[in-house]
Each structure stands twice: as C-alpha cells, then as structure tokens.
Amino acid sequence: MTGTIRITDSHCHLDFPDFDGELGEVIARAGAAGVHRMVTICTRLRNERAVRAIAEAHAPVFYAAGIHPMSAAEEPLATVDELVALAAHPKFVGIGETGLDYHYTAESAEVQKQSLRIHITAAQETGLPLIIHARDADDDMARILTEEFRNAPYTCVMHCFSSGAGLARAALDLGFYLSMSGILAFPKSQALRDIFAAAPVERILVETDAPYLAPPPHRGRRNEPAYTRHTAQKGAEVFGMDWPEFAAQLEANFERLFAKAVL
C-alpha cells in the first residue's frame, strides 16, 4: 500500500479485450498501487454502452467517449448533439479521444479534421475537457486547436503527449494540459522529458494509455492502471520534485481539469 499518496490514471482503455475476465483484479491492483481513480476512454461510439457499464460498475472508474482519429473514416461521424447527450451521464467526464493521426491514416486527414471540429464544438458546449490524440500532425493540430479556441474557449488535454516542442507550446499557450505516458520513462525519450521539464507543472497529468505503452520495468508487456505510478515517479524526477509533492500536484491538476470526476 502507498499510504496517503494517491494519483489518477487520466487515460486508459479498460474495455479492450486485453482485460477480459480480469477487470476487477486490474482495478484492485491499481488501488493497491495508489492509483485510486481512472478514466477509461471509448474510442468508437458504438462501444459507448459497454464503456459506460464499466464506469457504472466500478466506483473508481469514470469515462469519456469519442471517435479516435484512426477510426474516423470507418465510423459514422459523431454529431455534436450526440456527444452533448452523452455528457449528461454523471460519470461521463470528457469529450474524446479525438484528434489527428497522420502516421498510419494520413489518407483520411480531411475526415479526421471534420471529426475533430465536431468534438471541439461538443467540448465548447458542455464545458467538459477535450481529449486529444496527435501523431505526426503537429502543424494542423496546432492550427485547428487555436482557430477553434478563438471562436469559443474550451479546455483540453494532449493525451500521451509525444509530439514536438512547437505543439507543446501552442497547447500550453491556450491553457491546455500535457499528459505523461510510459513513453516519458523510456531510456531514449530525453527530448520528450526536456519538453515536459519546460512546461508549467500545474499543467501536467499522468496516464497509462493501457493496455499500451507500459513503462519500465514492465515495458513490452501489457500495461495497466497500476503502472501509472512508475511514470509519475519518473515525472517527479523530471520536475525535480519530491514524490509526495509531485503526486499531490498531479491530483490537483487532474481535479482542476476533470472537475466532474469527483469521488
């Protein structure tokens, strides 16, 4: 047990088949590691009911929903009204994940942009934070986020941030948050650690993106919310802070952004 040190996994995927038949144990291990709360993310709206059921069945779990950019060309576009209606649920705490991914799916860039703007409008209308996935699309991402913010302000987290310093600065200039994943703790991620170290500590979250991107010492295996602690402890080193102080800062940051996710 970890005493009074508690943190939140701000982004995981507990509905993925990697956790089938084991979800109760996964959530219990998270609690034993001090990860007392988690946000599970629905990436295709046709799966929203199943993701919602996980949040309803487990007190530490909240959820968000949207259409992942890599699926944007395969799924019907969400509507603003559809996303706003989902936001009425007491455990629905964010819009997305949405965003742009040109690494594998550059051919669907235009529909990704359309989907992204729909999600941004829903975030503007609900006041819930937008959850952004960005890969190999830094310029378009910075431009669209900035354009839409000028139309109407909204809050946002750049989930699993691993883009360049320019996109980090654009997001921070808008008052957005950067989320650390296990990538931060990879030995060859010094450039990413430098980007985080230059950011205000008040704008930092931590996540697993489980079942992906397990941090050392679990790298190469299935990730799970309990491992949030490893990334967060590496983050404390990056910011030169004592572990209890950094953990408390992460909690304050999460609760400021995800104000609806109150236990």
> For each of the chain's 263 residues, which pLDDT tens digit applies?
345 899 999 999 999 999 999 999 999 999 999 999 999 999 999 999 999 999 999 999 999 999 999 999 999 999 999 999 999 999 999 999 999 999 999 999 999 999 999 999 999 999 999 999 999 999 999 999 999 999 999 999 999 999 999 999 999 999 999 999 999 999 999 999 999 999 999 999 999 999 999 999 999 999 999 999 999 999 999 999 999 999 999 999 999 999 999 87
> Domain count of the chain?
1
Question: Residue 193 falls within a domain, yes or no?
Answer: yes
Residue 94 to residues 11, 62, 194, 206, 229: CA-CA distances in angstroms?
Answer: 10, 9, 28, 15, 22
pLDDT at residue 3, as a whole number: 57
Comparing C-alpha atoms, which of 16, 162, 148 is closest to residue 103?
A: 162
Range of the domain at 250: 7-257
Distance separating alpha carbons of residues 104 and 88, to the nearest angstrom = 34
pLDDT at residue 1, as a whole number: 39
> Is residue 81 packed enough to be buried (19+ CB in 10 Å), middle (13-18) or exposed (0-12)?
exposed
Distance separating alpha carbons of residues 49 and 164, to the nearest angstrom = 35
Question: Residue 41 falls within a domain, yes or no?
Answer: yes
CATH of the domain at 86: 3.20.20.140
Distance separating alpha carbons of residues 179 and 125, to the nearest angstrom = 23
Question: Residue 262 falls within a domain, yes or no?
Answer: no
Question: Residue 55 falls within a domain, yes or no?
Answer: yes
Question: Residue 1 falls within a domain, yes or no?
Answer: no
Question: Residue 220 falls within a domain, yes or no?
Answer: yes
Question: Residue 203 falls within a domain, yes or no?
Answer: yes
Count CB neighbours of 86 within 10 A. Answer: 22
Question: Residue 234 falls within a domain, yes or no?
Answer: yes
Distance, first Cα to last Cα, the chain: 19
DSSP 8-class letter at 200: -
0.95 exceeded by pTM: yes
pLDDT at residue 263, as a whole number: 77
Residue 64 to residues 2, 157, 183: CA-CA distances in angstroms?
Answer: 27, 13, 22
